[in-house]
Amino acid sequence: MRFPMPYGWARRFVHAALAMILGAAAASAGAQDIHILAFGDSLTAGYGLPRGQGFAPQLQDALRRNGIRAFVTDAGVSGNTAGQGRARLKWTLDGLERKPDLAIVALGANDMLRGLQPRQTRADLGAILAEFRRRDIRLLVGGMLAAPNLGPRYASEYNNIFPDLARDHDAALYPFFLANVAGNPALNLPDRVHPNFQGIKRMVSGITPYVLKALGQ
């Protein structure tokens, strides 16, 4: 047997149900928004490439293809050493509209190319990671490897910086930011240092699973 529902009660019920549905949809949409900061040098800044072809936009596209509503902010400055990145970190973070869900830190390549002492690079990168941690921002460290011509002693000191700091600061680690790209002329600009569009594509392909894991996806 069916009983007629009072009109006023029915209207309140419908309104409440719609509010719940819309609220849940809004919460779901908000939860899908992932903000990532790419904090690095020319390798994240897209040196020598047209707008939209650098690391940040390609990573954003890759994550969206994986169903992640990602917004990747390019905070790369070409030529930056770890020390220069350290000097600009706080005002970079203070200028963001929203705290990132994840920061990809990819600095140290220019330190190596300039032959700077690994202990200084370690100190600067350590300070950078500590500041991100102080602000409760998850981290993914883009590791780097020393060029062979710098010798085994330098390589040993330098190469250990990235896994050591990632462990010390509870950060995820992508062992080599230029994996399968460094030294390949087909994937680099004529200077043989900076990746071309296809090189960046290869970098993004390599790091995307690490980004997804760091995000808990």
- Tens-place pLDDT, residues 12-42: 543 444 344 334 433 444 457 999 999 999 9
Residue 94 lies in a domain: yes
What's the pLDDT at 32? 72
What's the pLDDT at 8? 52
Residue 49 lies in a domain: yes
**Domain of 119, in residue numbers:** 34-214
Residue 22 lies in a domain: no
Residue 38 lies in a domain: yes
What's the pLDDT at 217? 79
Residue 52 lies in a domain: yes
Residue 20 lies in a domain: no
> What secondary structure does DSSP assign to 143-170, as a single string?
-----GGG-HHHHHHHHTHHHHHHHHTT
Regions in the chain scoring below 50 on pLDDT: 1-7, 9-11, 13-30
Per the structure, the count of domains in the chain is 1
CB 79 within 8 A of CB 114: no
From the list 75, 144, 89, 88, the residue with the least C-alpha distance to 116 is 144
Stated pTM of the model: 0.85
Q: How far is CA 75 from the centre of its chain?
A: 10
CA distances from 185 to 29, 47, 61, 179, 188 (A): 42, 16, 25, 14, 5
Q: In this structure, what CATH number is given to the domain that contains residue 105?
A: 3.40.50.1110
